[in-house]
Structures are given as structure tokens and as C-alpha cells.
């Protein structure tokens, strides 16, 4: 596909301008795609607003049928969508296929949920009911690291709940979302789902639009604070899934050889471009050297390259801005720690950085204190587990974290003390559509996934009846 269009009110339309999308594996233009204007944004919101009364009045079972039909389309076109996803995002094709099938599964999950009337109290004097009503137009803003699966955190619960949506993908990864819009054009009623693109210049207008009742945003903490400010004027609902600097804490009873591959995967999946990736690793001093050596060995044998090439395990960074930022953090880390694997790019075009392990580094350095969002892992030595937890908690972020131990009870006791939205024991970064997900501190506001995630797209309405 090379002819991309916006989806506004059931019509595939060109943008009022165009923009280039770069393949991060070779730095060449992959496609020219539409760029929406403010007028087109307003048209998309108007279409969603006009479609809301009929869509919200449909029985929830009919709305679920439409959401399931979208999942059918995604699954039927999985190979095409995955190829496109790899080319615009950079991830290996196998990972892209997994993301596409996961997207379909997330859509289907939300069709398994209902929003029944709950009776809070019933007696001779009164009956009190809790109803869940749709909000109206939802603005959904998704980032570039997982353009499809993170879209599936937002679109299916919004639609099942009876809302209509304006979706805005990231400007560096808009193509898979646009292609999906074309594929489902005849599946979704006109105006119920609209897809527009920009160069990061329409987010503020979408967030502050008076006809948008809720904004669901996934991205950086800095941008999330702007979304919150933009929504404040009208007190509209917001869900923010923001940055993280997840810590893994490895206790002294862990077998480094057995655990290192799991830690490596937790840190380097999608070249570290995962909000809940393990971004700093605290290892007990008694096994520190052995663990560093095991991680370095894995890093050195990992195959980095174009995601379309067979055998590639890690692709490039998704865009030049992120690539330059990670290189900057890496250069700073070389002044404060020791690089024992990686630390270089590839001798070819593309935003490649080999998986990098940095040891003999500690808190107070940029690589440890900041979110790198790339394939560079600092490994920090500790002696006292309580001190490691305190250091992990000192971060302004609190998205996730993990404790690793041969003694689950010992790990659980420390997990209770980690200040994060999700804490894993002997694993990290597991997401399941049935399990609520959200961040603590500056890592976010509100909840996605699970029944709680569905309810985030509703207004609680109490009906209190005298008898």
C-alpha cells in the first residue's frame, strides 16, 4: 500500500497536507501520508459527536459485534499489517506479527465484558442503582513504540462502552493505523471511529476541544502534563499512561545463569522501547559479577538488524530524536560506569544501537535516574535489599517494578514496599488484557485494561428511588 487516507465520518480523505514517514532501519522515506489540518480535526470531532447518539443508543451486544468484526479484519490482514508495522516502527517481523494478533485479542477481550446495572441497596425504603453511561467523544492518542496494541488499550473499551472516537497515532508511525482505517471503513458506522494524523501539532487542539469528553493518552510524562493542562479547562476525563523507570531487584539467592535471559528480555524487548521495560537493574553484590557477565554474553550474541531480515532479534530505535537521546545518555554513562557489552551502533544506515550493558554505575547518574527508552541497561550493585527498594522508590516515576528471588515469600515482602502501579515477582513487563494497568506518581493517572479499564470510559450515574 502506498496511498494512505484519513478516516473522517466514514470517508477516506486526503490530508490538507502531507508528511513523510521514515523507515528507521534504513533512514529512507517509506511513504508519504496525509497530514490533517485543524479544520480536518474539527471535522473528525464533529463527525464523532454526530454519530454518538445513535451509537450509544445501540444495545451493547450490537456494539460488541462491531468490535469483534474489527478484530476479524485485523486477524484476516495480520501479515500485511505486520509487514507495514515492521517497516515503520522497526521491530522484528515476528514481534510485529505478535503485536497484530495481540491487538485482535485485546479487541475480543473487551467484548467479553458487560456494563450491567448494579443494585447498591434495596429495601422497603429505597432502591439504589449504579448505571454506567458513555461519555461522548473520546480523543485517543497513541505513541510510536507499539502503535497497534496501545491503540487496542483504548478503542475497544471506548466503543463497547458506547463512545465515539477520534484516534491520533504518532507522526512517525501512522501507517498501520491508517491502513486499518481503510480496512474497517465498511465495518464501523460512519463517524464512530475517525483516524487523523499530524506532526505533533494537533494534540493540544484535540485535548482542549470542547466537544471531546475524554482524552486517553499514552506517551511521555512531559507531554502527559500538557494533556492534563489542556483538559483542565473543561474538567474532561483523562487517562494518562506515561513514562517509567522500572527497577528490577535481584536478591542473593538467584541463579544468574538461569535468570539472566529473563532479565535481558525484560530490558531489551523492542530495543528497550517499552514503557514497562526494566530500565535499571539492582543486583546483590554476592552475584553481581556473575550476573553482569551473563547479561553481557547474551548482549554480545544478540542479532541486531532490519526487522524484515530473518534472524533479527532487535531492530533499530524508532526515530532519530530518540536515537540521538539514547546516544547522549550512553556517552554520559561511559564517564560514570563501565560498558561491558555493546555501546556502539552498526556500520550501516539506520538508528541502530547494539544492546548495551553498563556496570559499576550507580544512582545519581543520568542513565540510572532518567528513562532511556532504548537498548542500554545500567546494572547497579547493592548490599541491603531494603536499601535497594528505597533507591528504586526514589524515582519520580512508578509504572512498574520487579523482585527476583528463589524464595517467593521473601520477594513478596519486598514487592509490597515498591511504590509502583504494577509489581511483578520473578518476571517483568507481563501485560494481560484482564489485568488492570496504571502508574503511580508521575507515571500516570487512571487505569487501562480489565473491567476497571472499561469503566474509565463511562460516567457513573446513580438512580436513587424512594419506595
The string of DSSP codes covering 366-414 is: HHHHS---SSEEEEEEES-HHHHHHHHHTSSEESEEEEE-S-HHHHHHH
Name 438's Cβ contacts closer than 8 Å, sequence gap at least 6. Answer: 241, 421, 444, 445, 446, 447, 448
Closest to 181 (Cα-Cα) out of 168, 194, 164: 194
Task: Give me 324's grid cell.
Answer: 540521538
C-alpha cell at 385: 535489599
**pTM of this structure:** 0.96
285: exposed, middle or buried (Cβ count in 10 Å: 0-12, 13-18, 19+): exposed
The reported pLDDT for the residue numbered 2 is 61
- Spatial separation of the C-alpha atoms in residues 256 and 94, rounded to whole Å: 27
Whole-number pLDDT of residue 1: 46
> Is residue 33 annotated as a catalytic residue, yes or no?
no
Helix axes of 60-76 and 78-89: crossing angle, nearest 10 degrees: 70
Give me the torsion for CA of 79, 82, 88, 91, rounded to 10°. -130
Contact 405, 254 (CB under 8 A): yes
* Residues contacting residue 434 through CB under 8 Å, at least 6 positions apart: 109, 449, 450
Which region holds residue 129: left if phi is over 0, alpha if psi is between -120 and 50, else beta?
Answer: beta
275 counts as catalytic = yes
* Domain architecture of the chain: domains with CATH: 6-242+443-466 (3.40.605.10), 246-432 (3.40.309.10)
Would you write out the chain's pLDDT as a tens digit for each of its 467 residues? 468 999 999 999 999 999 999 999 999 999 999 999 999 999 999 999 999 999 999 999 999 999 999 999 999 999 999 999 999 999 999 999 999 999 999 999 999 999 999 999 999 999 999 999 999 999 999 999 999 999 999 999 999 999 999 999 999 999 999 999 999 999 999 999 999 999 999 999 999 999 999 999 999 999 999 999 999 999 999 999 999 999 999 999 999 999 999 999 999 999 999 999 999 999 999 999 999 999 999 999 999 999 999 999 999 999 999 999 999 999 999 999 999 999 999 999 999 999 999 999 999 999 999 999 999 999 999 999 999 999 999 999 999 999 999 999 999 999 999 999 999 999 999 999 999 999 999 999 999 999 999 999 999 999 999 99
Q: What is the pLDDT of residues 151-183, one digit of tens each?
A: 999 999 999 999 999 999 999 999 999 999 999
Among residues 33, 88, 99, 241, which one is catalytic?
A: 241
Which of 33, 275, 371, 456 is an active site residue? Answer: 275
Position 375 scores a pLDDT of 98
What's phi and psi for 50, nearest 5 deg?
A: -70, -30
In this structure, the number of other CB atoms found within 10 A of the CB of residue 80 comes to 14
Report the SS3 class of residue 446.
coil
User: Around 295, how many Cα atoms within 13 Å sit in the side-chain half-sphere?
Assistant: 32
Within 8 A by CB and 6+ apart from 242, the residues are: 218, 219, 220, 221, 224, 275, 397, 399, 439, 442, 443, 444
Amino acid at each position: 500500500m502506498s496511498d494512505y487516507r484519513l478516516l473522517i465520518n466514514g470517508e477516506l480523505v486526503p490530508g490538507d497536507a502531507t508528511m513523510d514517514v521514515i523507515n528507521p532501519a534504513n533512514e529512507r522515506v517509506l511513504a508519504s501520508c496525509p497530514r490533517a489540518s485543524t479544520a480536518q480535526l474539527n471535522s473528525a470531532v464533529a463527525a464523532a459527536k454526530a454519530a454518538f447518539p445513535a451509537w450509544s443508543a445501540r444495545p451493547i451486544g450490537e456494539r460488541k459485534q462491531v468490535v469483534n468484526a474489527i478484530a476479524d479484519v485485523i486477524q484476516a490482514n495480520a501479515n500485511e499489517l505486520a509487514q507495514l508495522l515492521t517497516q515503520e516502527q522497526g521491530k522484528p517481523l515476528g514481534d510485529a506479527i505478535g503485536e497484530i494478533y495481540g491487538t485482535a485479542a485485546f479487541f475480543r477481550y473487551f467484548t467479553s465484558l458487560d456494563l450491567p446495572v448494579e443494585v447498591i441497596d434495596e429495601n422497603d425504603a429505597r432502591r439504589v442503582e449504579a448505571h454506567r453511561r458513555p461519555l461522548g467523544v473520546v480523543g485517543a492518542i497513541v505513541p510510536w513504540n507499539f502503535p497497534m496494541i496501545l491503540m487496542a488499550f483504548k478503542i475497544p473499551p471506548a466503543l463497547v462502552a458506547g463512545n465515539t472516537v477520534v484516534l491520533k497515532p504518532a507522526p512517525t508511525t501512522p501507517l498501520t493505523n491508517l491502513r486499518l482505517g481503510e480496512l474497517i471503513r465498511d465495518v464501523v458506522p460512519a463517524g464512530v471511529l475517525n483516524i487523523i494524523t499530524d506532526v505533533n501539532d494537533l494534540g493540544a487542539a484535540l485535548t482542549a476541544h470542547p466537544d471531546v469528553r475524554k482524552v486517553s493518552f499514552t506517551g511521555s510524562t512531559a507531554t502527559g502534563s500538557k494533556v492534563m493542562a489542556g483538559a483542565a479547562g473543561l474538567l474532561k476525563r483523562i487517562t494518562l499512561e506515561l513514562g517509567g523507570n522500572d527497577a528490577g531487584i535481584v536478591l542473593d539467592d538467584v541463579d544468574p545463569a538461569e535468570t539472566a535471559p529473563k532479565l535481558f528480555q525484560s530490558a531489551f524487548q523492542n530495543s528497550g522501547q517499552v514503557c514497562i521495560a526494566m530500565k535499571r537493574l539492582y543486583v546483590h553484590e554476592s552475584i553481581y559479577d556473575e550476573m553482569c557477565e551473563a547479561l553481557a554474553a547474551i548482549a554480545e550474541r544478540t542479532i541486531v538488524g532490519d526487522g524484515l531480515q530473518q534472524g533479527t532479534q532487535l531492530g533499530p530505535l524508532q526515530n532519530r530524536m530518540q536515537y540521538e537521546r539514547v546516544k547522549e545518555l550512553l556517552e554520559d554513562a561511559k564517564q560514570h560506569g563501565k560498558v561491558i557489552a555493546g555501546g556502539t551502533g552498526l556500520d550501516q544506515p539506520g538508528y541502530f544501537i547494539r544492546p548495551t550493558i553498563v556496570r559499576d554505575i550507580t544512582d545519581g547518574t543520568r542513565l540510572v535516574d532518567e528513562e532511556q527508552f532504548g537498548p542500554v541497561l545500567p546494572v547497579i550493585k547493592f548490599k541491603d535489599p531494603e536499601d535497594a527498594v528505597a533507591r528504586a522508590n526514589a524515582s519520580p516515576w512508578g509504572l512498574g517494578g520487579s523482585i527476583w528471588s528463589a524464595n517467593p515469600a521473601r520477594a513478596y515482602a519486598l514487592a509490597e514496599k515498591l511504590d509502583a502501579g504494577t509489581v511483578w515477582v520473578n518476571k517483568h513487563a507481563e501485560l494481560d488484557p484482564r489485568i488492570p494497568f496504571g502508574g503511580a506518581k508521575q507515571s500516570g493517572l487512571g487505569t487501562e485494561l480489565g473491567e476497571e479499564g472499561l469503566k474509565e470510559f463511562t460516567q457513573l450515574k446513580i438512580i436513587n428511588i424512594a419506595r
